Amino acid sequence: MRTRKWSAAMAAAVAAVLMLSSCTSNHTAPKAKVDAALLTPAGGKHVASGAPIRIGLVNDDSGAGASMPEVRTGVQAAFGYVNDYLGGIAGRPVVLDSCDSKSNSASAAACASQMIADRVVGVLHGPETDSGTTAQTLMNAGIPVISTAPASAQEMAGSLSFSFSGGAFAFAAALGQWMAQQHYHSSTLFAEDAPGGMSLYQMSANFLRKLGINTTVITVAPGTADVTPQMTSALSHHPDAVWMLGDAGLCLSFMRAYRASGSTAQVGLIGQCTGSQVTDVVSLSGAVGPAYANPLGDNTEARLYRGVLDAYAPGTDPNGLAYLGYTMALGTIRAVHTVTGEVTPAAVAAAMRAAKGVPLPIADDVTFACDGKQIPPFPAPCSDTVFIARLDAGGNPTTIAKLHAANLMGG
């Protein structure tokens, strides 16, 4: 199947991409007081009651490879809000069945088995090491899998998979489209030499070439502290833009080498670049990066998110990864609010697939539709909207463009 060409790359890159997709900074936003008026929907407050409905969560809460417990925190906060203010699902409270996949395949398999045994009506899928296998196991059991971004071919192409963004696939495409709008003619992509990664990197380069931007890919060995030789070589060709896709370590090495060069080429960042590990050392001023949302924005959705965290997860940094879990949880509830009668996996999947014009949590004036038409031919992405943000020295974003991401594969 065509999607196999990039499955490993997507799994390797998704966690890094999601860290930037919020365009957050390392500065903690001031805490707000609980605002009941903000939390109360237009139709008034509705408290859920009756027999609970069980929804699962599989996420790397801990583990050597990844540890993202904030995703679970975001889900829990959203469900607390949903049960107290939005009437749960069909008037019944939602309870979370959470499983830590611990960043290893054996734990991920155990989590999938737990979800099936517990008869959950759907599974929220956080960033997770063996995401493709987990998702396929759940879908084979008839359980819909819902994520903030697809991290595998199985999730991107699965008929029971739903994702509120296109993830790395969409972000790379949107950044390329933005470069074309700036009339750039050449670029260089720096990326970590991860297993299977070249598929995604070459796909991105080919996409930019079709847009008239001659693009070269430079892979960097994991843990490389100094990419000055690679940067010097790249800049000798005077590209209009240099951009990277990777983790915080690569981002730091990349930005250090770029700043030392004195180049004026545009910088693009897709990865873990806005944390203190990077911003305490090097300025991100002038860099651009893709985002599906801005948790620190002034729009109603972003303020609601921060209000929910304040009420249900006090002390949680809105700049962290809680927004990923919040998006999955509240987005799902909004999509399935029309379900009546018995709430089953099939009913949840049908409601998700029928969802259209639903406000995307945290995003500014963006709606989603899970009709399979957002990034054809893939059925999973429910939104193709990507914001391009310009960053200041500390990684604080200012949105400069709102795009609809094309398909990197040209489908």
Please write the tens of the pLDDT for every residue from 297-309: 889 999 999 999 9
Region 337-365 average pLDDT: 94
Q: Is the pLDDT of residue 410 over 50?
A: yes
Measured distance CA(75)–CA(97) in Å, rounded: 11
Cβ atoms of 98 and 88 closer than 8 Å: no
Region 250-265 average pLDDT: 96
pLDDT of residue 8: 41
Q: Is the pLDDT of residue 15 over 70?
A: no
Q: What stretches of 115-182 adopt beta strand conformation (E)?
A: 123-125, 145-147, 161-163
Region 308-318 average pLDDT: 93
Q: Which residues contact 378 (CB under 8 A, 6 or more apart)?
A: 3, 156, 157, 372, 407, 411
- 22 confidence band (pLDDT: 50, 70, 90): very low
pLDDT of residue 328: 96
Q: Is the pLDDT of residue 2 over 50?
A: no
Measured distance CA(91)–CA(46) in Å, rounded: 8
Q: What is the pTM of this model?
A: 0.87
Region 19-30 average pLDDT: 45
pLDDT of residue 149: 87
Region 66-92 average pLDDT: 93
pLDDT of residue 32: 45
Q: Is the pLDDT of residue 194 over 80?
A: no
pLDDT of residue 196: 65
Measured distance CA(382)–CA(367) in Å, rounded: 9
Cβ atoms of 148 and 81 closer than 8 Å: no
Q: Is the pLDDT of residue 11 over 60?
A: no
The CA distances from residue 90 to 53, 298, 333, 347, in Å, are 9, 31, 10, 12
Per-chain mean pLDDT for the chain: 89
Using DSSP bridges, classify how beta strands 288-291 and 161-163 pair: parallel, antiparallel or unpaired. unpaired
Q: Which residue type occupies 12?
A: A
Tokens of 101: 């996949």
Measured distance CA(318)–CA(309) in Å, rounded: 8
Percent of the chain exceeding pLDDT 90 equals: 68
Quick check: bond before 377 cis, omega within 30?
Answer: yes
